[in-house]
Structure 1
Amino acid sequence: MNIRCIIIDDEPSSQNVLKSFVHKIDYLELVQVCNSALEALEYLKSNTVDLFFLDINMPQLSGIDFYKSLKNPPKVIFTTAYSAYALEGFEVDATDYLLKPFSFHRFVKAVSKVKDLNDAKIDYIIVKSDKKLHQIKIEKIYFIEALGDYIKIHLKNTFLVTYKSLKMMHTSLPKSIFKQVHKSFIINKNKLQYIEGNMAIINSNKIPLGQKYKKEFIDHFNA
């Protein structure tokens, strides 16, 4: 599920950096760039968003005061060139604080926190299979297998086949729970029984661990 975000910053150079970084993250959807908090307020009158990239030091209305003025604010990652604002930013429950100039690595770390918070709220998905819409609790999914243009969602004693790519399916699932272990398989790590050689055993099924994914998966599993 995409995270709809807006950039609120009065500096074009900062806007350009953020736009470049946002476009590199597949689950972020940039819906607006605002040059001031007042411009953002106008946009929010008829639009909803999930995340602000919000500069603190702006003319007319600071990022902090703007954020405090909202009744139901979305998640926020504050951006500023002044470290003195960090404490005040966290006092309004900011998800993170980026000190300019920040690296792409630091940006990824910040947005991953937002993604993890969103993932924790996902408890089911809707899947179309056999001309029906099925509501599936994610905890009931054991693993997912790619079948050309389709995927096969394995449950405890049954499965569903739906028209969707494995990559698209992965983006709609919590990354903290579902791990890709092969170019054709995603598994629910909570259903993993054990690893034997190059195989992950889930519900008596042997799922291959691809060389590209094995080390990262085992390191995560051990952690």
Structure 2
Amino acid sequence: MSKINCVAIDDEPFALEIMADDIQKISFLNLVGTFSNPMDAWELIKQGKVDLIFLDIQMPVISGTQFLRSLPKPPMVIFTTAYQQYALEGYDLDVVDYLLKPIPFDRFLKAVNKAEELFRLRSKEQQNLPVVEDVNFFFIYSEYKQIKIYFDDVLYVEGLKDYVKIYIKQQSKPILTRMNLKMMATKLPSNLFCRVHHSFIVALDKISAFQKTKLLVGEKELPIGRKFAEFFEQQYQQ
């Protein structure tokens, strides 16, 4: 039975050391890295080599919640924090569990058992899926019908709370559908698209130029959010 590949992210060295020690006591966990800066874990996570993140929340470069929101297809997450006030936000982000420091080992064990159960369930579901060829399109529901959209035709997506506008090549009017931007991101390949702002996802190959705070898709200028800037530059310049 395969182990759960996990990383621990915490800007406090002592807390990171304790977490790594606890992880190594669990037979079904495989610790593949510890990081004091979430940015250093980005590439490993993006490559799909991480099944579970133990993630601190209050960190100087970027908070754990901001980091999690920036991931297009996040793995399972267990928050580890000294601050109880983030519990509701953790619930909204659909994390596996929320651990308050100092973390008793029995409470840690309960959290990782939940993660292990979820991991096995997802693995079983994946095994039961039919084998299909790679697709280059997705469907969305708009104007009372299912619309097929090719990835290559998408210029960018704009989020409007509970709706998104999908801007398509050679089409002046965007396609409007009831969906939030986070859900939209799950339909788009992370190697082709990047979230650059709270309100925008952009097709990387449609970007003609960018600066620190803005980019161009054709003649359309879009903002780059401060918390997304570093992730965007890493992904775009690969």
TM-score normalised per structure 1: 0.53
* Mapped partners of 1:65, 1:122: distance in 2: 27
Q: Deviations over 1:9-57 (max 9, x none)?
A: 0101111111111011000000011111111224435452000000000
What is aligned with 1:68? 69
1:45 and 1:75, CA in 2 relative to 1: closer, same or farther beyond 3 A?
closer
Structure showing greater Rg: 1
Residue type of the alignment partner of 1:97: Y
**How far does residue 73 in structure 1 lie from its aligned partner after superposition?**
0.2
Structure 2 unmatched ranges of 5 or more:
128-238
What is aligned with 2:16? 15
* Mapped partners of 1:82, 1:5: distance in 2: 23
Structure 1 unmatched ranges of 5 or more:
127-223
* Mapped partners of 1:61, 1:100: distance in 2: 19
TM-align CA RMSD: 1.8
Q: Is contact 2:8-2:33 (8 Å) kept? A: yes
1:45 and 1:72, CA in 2 relative to 1: closer, same or farther beyond 3 A?
closer
What is aligned with 1:116? 117
What is aligned with 1:176? none
TM-score normalised per structure 2: 0.50
- The equivalences for 1:1-223 within 5 A come to 1-46=2-47, 48-123=49-124
1:121 and 1:89, CA in 2 relative to 1: closer, same or farther beyond 3 A?
closer
* Mapped partners of 1:80, 1:42: distance in 2: 23
- SS in structure 2 of the partner of residue 110 of structure 1: helix
* Mapped partners of 2:94, 2:68: distance in 1: 10
Name the count of aligned residue pairs.
125
Residue type of the alignment partner of 1:100: K
Residue type of the alignment partner of 2:17: N
Runs of 4+ in 1 over 6 A off after TM superposition: none
Residue type of the alignment partner of 2:114: K
